Amino acid sequence: MNSQKKFHLVFSLVMGAMMIFLMTLVITFVNVGLSADFVQRWMRAFAIAYLVGVPVIFFLAPVAGKLTGRILGVKPA
The 10s digit of each residue's pLDDT in 11-25 is: 999 999 999 999 999
- The rounded distance, in Å, linking the Cα atoms of 48 and 35 is 20
Residue 58 sits at φ, ψ, to 5 deg, of: -60, -45
Give the mean model confidence (pLDDT) for residues 38-54: 97
Identify the sign of the CA torsion 60, 69, 18, 38.
negative
pLDDT of 57 higher than 80: yes
Distance (Å, rounded) from C-alpha 42 to C-alpha 53?
A: 15
Q: pTM of the full predicted structure?
A: 0.81
pLDDT band at 75 (very low <50, low <70, confident <90, very high): confident
- In whole angstroms, give the CA distance from residue 35 to residue 33: 6
Question: What's the whole-number mean pLDDT along residues 28-37?
Answer: 96
Arithmetic mean of pLDDT, 43-61: 96
